[in-house]
Structures are given as structure tokens and as C-alpha cells.
Structure 1
Amino acid sequence: MTQPDPIPEQDLARHAQKMAKKKAARDRMMETKTGEKGLIIVHTGPGKGKSSSGFGMIMRCIAHDMPCAVVQFIKGAWDTGERRLLTTHFADLCQFHSMGEGFTWETQDKSRDIAAAEAGWAKARDLIRDPANRMILLDEINIAFRYGYLDVAQVLAFLEAEKPPMTHVVLTGRGAPESLIEAADLVTEMGQVKHPFRAGIKAQAGVEF
């Protein structure tokens, strides 16, 4: 195997000097970031990864021994990998509530969908009010907003009035309302470049659920 040519000493010195300046600037910036607060976090957009990212943060909470909870508004009884892992191995730290009954085109009953969403939000309110819970993931709640199952103004009013100061609330789903985006502390929009579904590939275990 051919070894790469050695890097000239002057290049190494310039690189070290450049990185030292970057580190000093970064350290100065980090010195000004001392506050902590419970965040309202939104994952939206047409791309894959909104729920996956939310569950990633739930796993971080568990790793830090921080009690947390998940309320699913749409997926319902789906046997997802996240649900199986959390309920089987981490039920002592993470409560898991699947309150939806599937997508609206599956139930074909708007009044039933609204009732399920309202029950999910009632459960979410109880979980958020408890300051012992450090993070609450409201999975696919943005879909409930989009279809008119829940009133985003009422949800935001509750979060403003009753969310404990150090509790993080994560709201996922495409089509997040502008009022929610405006109120949130952290918003990520997942874009879609390519997706295998368009090439005839179905949702697969370990990737989609």
C-alpha cells in the first residue's frame, strides 16, 4: 500500500495556528452560553427522521437517568421498534402511551380521530405538569393540528402557562403550524432528497419503524 506523501512542516504549522484561533473563538462564544431552560422543540418537514430524532433525544434522557414520556397521536397500535425497546427495557424511566388509531384514511371517522387526539392531549397534559418528567415527546401531534383534531392555540397556551421551567417538550410531524414554529425554541425542518417509497420500496423494520 502506497504511503501518502508527508505534509510539509509549514503546512502543519499553519493548520495548527488556524485551529488554535478557531478554538479560542469557540471558547469565547461558549463562555457566554450559560443559561438552561426547558425547551419547546419542533421537528417538521417532508423528510424522514422527525420521530426518529425525537426518540433519539428520549434515549439520551434515559442514558442520563432523566424520567421522560412518549405520547403517540397517530401511530396507535403499530408495533414499532421504539415502542418495543422502551416498554420492554426502559419502562421505569420512560412512560409510553399510544393514543392514536392510525392515519385518518384508515379510521375514516373524523369524530373518532378527534376523540383519540383529545385523549392523547389529556394524557400529555398530565405528563407535562409533572416536573419529574424531564422530556415529553408528542409524536405526530403536528398531524393532529393539520387535520383540525387539536387546537394549536390551546396547546401553546397550556405550554406557556403550565409547562415546568426545566421540562423539554418535543412536537413532531410534518406541516407544523406557523404559530408553533414561532413559539418554539428549537425548530428543525427535515427535507427530502430521495426516498425509497417512490421507487416501490415499502416501509421496513429498523428503518421506518
Structure 2
Amino acid sequence: MTSTNPEEPVDDSPRHPKAPRPKQRTPGPYPVPPKNRRTGLVIVNTGTGKGKTTAALGVLLRARGRGMKVAMLQFIKSADTDRGEHVGARELGVEIVPMGAGFTWLSESIEEDRKLARKCWARCTEVLHSDEHDVVIFDELTYALSYGWLTHDEVFSALDERPDGTHVVITGRNATDELVEYADLVTEMKEIKHPYRTEGLSAQPGIDL
């Protein structure tokens, strides 16, 4: 099915020659958003499969191609390793800020974890509310919510108070039901096959890091 609307997904899957063609959906009319509806989206990439951060980096690339300003902050990844995306983003004029040095979410001190999470979130909120970015990416933020180090109220309040038009991308496994309900767009990555499990292959430069 070929859509006349460039924003609609196109179904190019093969069909048997004698199979009846599905009815083409008539575009619109679409519901009118409420007047208080933000123009900026909250996007969540979650699931157990690979590609959550990779998809967010695709948004970063596309936004920069449109001349938009992008910030990306990473909750768990350490600053000790200069990953491929860090180098590539700098060439696009985007600084990716890893804030996870020594932060594994698995320490024996829940209170210490909570303090570290709040310190990270304070930096995230500062960037989000600065009105200097069109797209803000919070990589691995879902863990802070699913482990209870941050509350939904404080995260949602910060998102509600962001400058209008600012898009936010949140990544990580185990997105909570509350976050899924709050977001505008949610995609779940599902693992079908992974070379580490089938062949014991380690992370590949340029693909995984």
C-alpha cells in the first residue's frame, strides 16, 4: 500500500498476485490537539533489544541536519571511555555528556544511589530548562525511574516546565507504565537474535561502541 501522505508508514511487503489488496485508509480528519498541547514530543525508546540509544542518535543526526540544537546526557555510561558516538557527535557540534562514572545502580547503599541519581537529574533539568536546545536526549533515564531513585512526579514536572517546542527522547529498559502513559511516542525494541548469545561475539566498534 502506497500512501499519499509522506508522513504515513508505507507497507511494501510482498503479496501473492491473487491476494486481495487491503483497503486504503482515508487520511484524516485528524483530531485537533487541545490548545494547551505542547509542540515538543516526549519520545521513549525501551525494551530488551539493541537499538535504544542508537535510535536516539539517529534523532540527533536528523535534528542537526535541520540545524537544530541538540543535547544528550547519559545516566549510566562512564566518561572514562570515548565512544564512537561521542566523537561523531562532537563533529556535528553536539556534546554528549556521560554522567555515570562509578555509578552502577547496584551499590549496597540505596540512599547513595538516590543522591547520585538526583545529582544527575539536577544537571538534566538545568539543560532541559535552559531554552538552548531543540532536542534533549536523556539516555538511560528509565533506570532511575524503574529503580525508584527518581519519582515520576519530579520527572514529569520538569518535563512539563520545559520550553515549548523542545523535544525530549528518553531511552532505557523497563520503561514504567507511568512513563509510557505520559509519553507521546513509545517504541519497544525486541531482541530476536544477538551475536553475543549465538556466537559469543563481543561488542563491535562502530556498531556497539
SS across alignment from 2:187: strand
Deviations 1:111-153 (A, max 9, x none): 5543432222111111111223111000011122222332232
- CA distance in 2 between partners of 1:154 and 1:128 (Å): 13
AA of the residue aligned to 1:99 = M
- In the TM superposition, what whole-angstrom CA distance separates every residue of 1:77-111 from its partner, at most 9, and x where no partner exists? 23211111112x123xx232111125627867655
Structure 1 equivalent of residue 101 of structure 2: 101
Name the CA distance, whole Å, in 2 between partners of 1:170 and 1:100. 18
1:70 alignment partner AA? M
Runs of 4+ in 1 over 3 A off after TM superposition: 31-36, 105-116
Greater Rg over alpha carbons, structure: 1
Q: Distance in 2 between matches of 1:163 and 1:204?
A: 36
- Residues 42 and 184 in structure 1, CA contact (< 8 A), matched pair in contact too: yes
> How many Å apart are 1:50 and its aligned residue?
0.4
Structure 2 letter corresponding to 1:80 = R
* Structure 2 partner of 1:70: 72
Q: After superposition, give the CA deviation of every residue in 1:168-199 in whole Å (9 maximum; x if it has no partner).
A: 11110000111010000000011111111213
Matches within 5 A, 1:110-125: 110-125=110-125
Alignment of 1:167-186 (within 5 A): 167-186=166-185
CA displacement 1:23-46 (0-9 Å, x = unmatched)? xx66x43x7488771001100000
**AA aligned opposite 1:125:** T
User: Are positions 1:57 and 2:59 aligned together?
Assistant: yes
TM-score, normalised to structure 1, is 0.77
Letter in 2 for 1:82: E
Structure (1 or 2) with the greater helix fraction:
1
Calculate percent identity across the aligned residue pairs.
Answer: 37
Stretches of structure 2 that go unaligned for 5 or more consecutive residues are 1-20
What amino acid sits opposite 1:44 in the alignment? T
Tell me how far 1:55 sits from its aligned partner. 0.8
- Say whether residues 1:83 and 2:86 are aligned partners: yes
Cα displacement (A) at 1:63: 0.6
Separation in 1 of the partners of 2:207 and 2:187? 20
Classify 1:208/1:103 alpha carbon distance in 2 versus 1 (closer, same or farther; 3 Å): farther
Q: Which moved more, 1:171-180 or 1:190-199?
A: 190-199
CA RMSD, aligned part only? 2.7
Aligned residues: 184
Query: Contact 2:105 / 2:113 at 8 angstroms: preserved in 1?
Result: no
